[in-house]
Amino acid sequence: MSGNRNVFSSRSPSGWWRRAVTRAVQGGWRWVQEAGAVTAEHPGQLSFRALGHGTRLAFPQGTVFGEQWIELGDHCIIGERVTLTAGMMPGLDLGPAAILTLGDGVVLGRGSHVIADTRVVIGSDTYCGPYVYITSTNHSYDDPGQPVGKQWPRTEPVEIGPGCWLGTGAVVLPGARLGRNVVVAAGSVVRGDVPDHSVVAGAPARVVRKWDAERGWQPPLRTPAPVPIPEGVTPEQLVALAEEESEPEG
Q: Which of the following is catalytic: 42, 75, 113, 139?
A: 139
Establish how many alpha carbons lie within 13 A of residue 23's alpha carbon, considering only the half-sphere containing its beta carbon: 6
What's the Cα-to-Cα distance from 197 to each of 6, 35, 149, 209, rounded to whole Å?
63, 40, 37, 9
Task: Read off the pLDDT band of 246 (50, 70, 90).
Answer: low
Rounded average pLDDT over 92-100: 91
For residue 250, the model assigns a pLDDT of 54
User: What was the pLDDT predicted at 10?
Assistant: 43
The per-residue pLDDT for range 202-213, each reduced to its tens digit, is 999 999 999 999
Give the chain's mean pLDDT. Answer: 90
Q: Is 197 an active-site residue?
A: no
Residue 8 has pLDDT above 90, yes or no: no
Neighbouring CB atoms inside 10 A of 17's CB total 9
> What is this structure's pTM?
0.84
pLDDT of residue 9: 45
The amino acid that residue 83 corresponds to is T
pLDDT tens by residue, 62-83: 999 999 999 999 999 999 999 9
Q: Please tell me what DSSP assigns to residue 248.
A: P
Instruction: State residue 60 phi and psi, 5-degree precision.
Output: -80, 145
pLDDT of 43 above 70 = yes
For 21-43, give one letter per residue: b (16+ CB within 10 A) or e: eeeeeeeeeeeeeeeebbeeeee
Secondary structure of residue 116 in the 3-state scheme:
strand
Banded pLDDT at 7 (limits 50, 70, 90): very low
DSSP 147: -
Average pLDDT over residues 159-170: 98
Nearest to 122 by CA among 82, 95, 152: 82
CA distance 85 to 128: 17
